[in-house]
Every structure is written in structure tokens, then in C-alpha cells.
Structure 1
């Protein structure tokens, strides 16, 4: 996004953080040709992330699949932090001429209210007689570093990096590419280190994947 637009959204993050309060984490993702990064964050105590943290795997998948072309926002999806805290997430897509240039995300932590309501129900002797509601699997994991996202993607696809042969490395890079990992700013150097490859090797794999997808 343009510098002027970024400055406006950074102020909006600060405003929403103050207005909505302690239980709401507000995150602005800046998306450029160099990759995506967090440009601003309010109430970061909720997930422990900072402006140096990467975009989530869920957001990267949205970028890669171009789901943002079908809608302007998504709401009420489940998210979780590294410490397994359950959150409700919503994302607004910032677009310029149809191109995604940013995402404004709001993550709501209702654990305190849930604890209070459960205690009230327990005191009223209601909760024990109520059927348990099925839990919904979180679709977004709020990671604090790129390595966590890389590891999560590879584990999801049952890819073991303990003894990586050239063919296995190529498969790992392909899956990371499919999941949009390389949209994160600085991802190439991180993946190269994680897979014990040189950065030029990663670039060659990406060029092949890019040409194959045309």
C-alpha cells in the first residue's frame, strides 16, 4: 500500500486498540512486491506478536488462493495463539484497483468472559446438566516467527526434514510455495536455512514452480 494509506491505517489500528480495549488485538499487514509484514499491532499481549512477526499461514493461504477477489472481508473464524488461547478473528481486505495491498485483522479474546459465565452457571448449578458444545478447530495459528509456520505446513503434509534428499527438498519447497510462505518478507533466507539449502537454490526452485503454474 502507499505510504500515505499505510499511515492512515496505522492510526486506525491505534484508535481501534484504544476503543475496543484490552481484549482485542488489532493487526495491520502491509503487502508489497517484496512480501508481507506486520506494519502495526495494538494489544499485542494477546498473541505475543510484534511488527517483526510474520503473516499467519491462514492469511498467506488467502493471498495465494486469491480469495480476497470474492469478498471484501471475512468474519468470525477461529484462531489460536502459541499458548493455545482461543480467539475469534475477522479480516478486512485492503485493495487498490483489485490488488491486495494489506489486511486489517481483529482478534477477540473472550476467555475472561467465558470464565465468568461458566462460574455463574456453575454457582447456579446449571453448567453440569448442560450438554457440551462441540469445539471448532482453529483455522488460524498466530505464530511469532516464520520457522513456526514453515514447520506447521510441513507437518500438515507429513514431510520429514530429518533426512532430506533432493527430491524431498523439492517437495517441501513446492508445498511451502502452495501455502504462500514465500509471500512473507524474508521467507527465502529462512526456508533456505531451515532446509539447509542456499538461497540461489531456493530461487531456482521457485522459478521452476512459477513457470510450471503459468
Structure 2
């Protein structure tokens, strides 16, 4: 079996890092570090402004913890913050031994812009209306509600006929938190989907809201 020269392996890693950074644009930092030389660990880095690093920068505190662990590890889709009041990062890190060197391949995605968009959308979508009989573009028609109710039921991950009371409460709680119970016909449709009476659904609603029967 042919052994690939170490320099070719690093060249490929560098190309993959650049490809990821270009694909996901300026908010995505990709960094390749040598864990065995923490004082000048960064070998390759793209969009280094995300964490304020460049080639030759030392390991950040979060990565230093990996220096003591020479085993190969994979840390996928975790959240971290490099410094106080810094951006929230969505990260994945792969630690592999290449030759005699412990190498970390890390992706850090700055979620600040997405979180700002999310906040704006949530504020925009909030309403103060409690009217149950509004029908905007057919949103609260039975055909639109049924898939939402079914999705909450399927999340329990068992057949409806096997549901216990706690399962039905979880479905009602989920739908209530999503505002579905404010929509006309929702109680009837939930009762039909769960195979219980509307009276039972109203009791479940009181229970999940902490109200007395």
C-alpha cells in the first residue's frame, strides 16, 4: 500500500480548509493547528478575524485542553465563546495524529448575524391578538392544522393507541406552546387525532397550564 507523503496530506487539509471557508463566507473560520507547538500552533487559517488569529498564533484556551489528550478525538457541533462578550460560535473540531504530530482541524462559525436575524423575525412574528376566529389566508383551516398536530403526535415516537395520559399531555403542551390552541377548530382536531373527547382535551389544557379543574 502506497504511503502518502506528509506534505501532500497537509496540502490537502489546507485545500479543504480553504474550500469550507469560501463556501460559508466571512463568518466561517477554519483553522488547522499543531497541538504539539501551542505557542505558535496555527498552521493554516481562513477568516481569522472571527477569533482574531493568524498563522503562527498560539492555541486559544479552549484548545489548550486538548494538548494533554494525544488520542484522536472528534468534537462535533458544540457552542463556545472565545472571550467574554465575544461572539457565540458554533464549532466542530477533529483531532488527528498525522505522522508524529497531533493536528486539530477546527471550524468556528460566528452566529451573531444569524442570531440577530432570528431575534428580528421573532419580534416581527409576535402578535397580541387572542382572536380565535381569524382566518388569514387559510392558516387556521383544518387542512393546515392537521400536519402540525400530527407532527407533535409523531414526536412521541409510539402509536397513538399506546399513548398514556402523560403522552397526550405532552402533545397538548407542545401545541399550546406553539399557539395552536388559540386557533379555531384546534381542540376538535386534536381530540380526533388522539382518539379522546374534547372534554378530555380541555382538561389537559387546564392541567398543562397549571389551572385547577
- What is the TM-score normalised by the length of structure 1? 0.50
Displacement after TM superposition at 1:62 (Å): 1.5
In structure 1, the residue matched to 2:25 is: 21
Question: Residue 80 of structure 2 corresponds to which residue in structure 1?
Answer: 79
Give the Cα separation in 2 of the matches to 1:49 and 1:34: 13
The residue number in structure 1 matching 2:15 is 11
1:170-209 C-alpha deviation (Å, 9 max, x unpaired): xxxxxxxxxxxxxxxxxxxxxxxxxxxxxxxxxxxxxxxx
Distance 1:32 1:3, change over 3 A: farther
Asked whether the equivalents of residues 38 and 58 of structure 2 are also in contact (C-alpha less than 8 Å), the reply is no
Alpha-carbon distance in structure 2 between the residues aligned to 1:34 and 1:120: 42
Hey, what does 1:110 align to over in structure 2? Answer: 111
Map 1:112-191; keep pairs closer than 5 Å.
112-125=113-126
Please tell me whether the aligned partners of residues 47 and 81 of structure 1 are also in contact (alpha carbons under 8 angstroms): yes
1:93 corresponds to: 95
Number of the residue aligned with 2:62: 58
* Consecutive unaligned residues in structure 2, runs of 5 or more: 128-176, 178-213
- CA separation in 1, counterparts of 2:25 and 2:50? 12
- Indicate the structure with greater strand content: 1
1:93–1:100 Cα contact (<8 Å) kept: no
3-state SS of paired residue (1:123)? helix
Query: Structure 1's 105 and 37: CA in aligned 2 closer, same or farther, altered over 3 A?
Result: same
CA RMSD of aligned residues (A): 2.9
Using the TM superposition, give the Cα deviation of residue 55 of structure 1 relative to its aligned residue in structure 2, in angstroms.
1.0
Q: Specify whether residues 25 and 34 from structure 1 end up closer, same or farther in structure 2 by C-alpha distance, changes over 3 A only.
A: closer
Structure 1 gaps of 5+ residues are 131-214
Judged with a 3 Å threshold, the aligned counterparts in structure 2 of structure 1 residues 61 and 32 are, in CA distance, closer, same or farther, namely closer
Higher relative contact order (CA 8 A, sep 6+): 1
Mapped partners of 1:3, 1:90: distance in 2: 24
CA 96–2 in structure 1, closer or farther in 2 if over 3 Å, else same: same
1:36 offset after TM fit, Å? 5.5
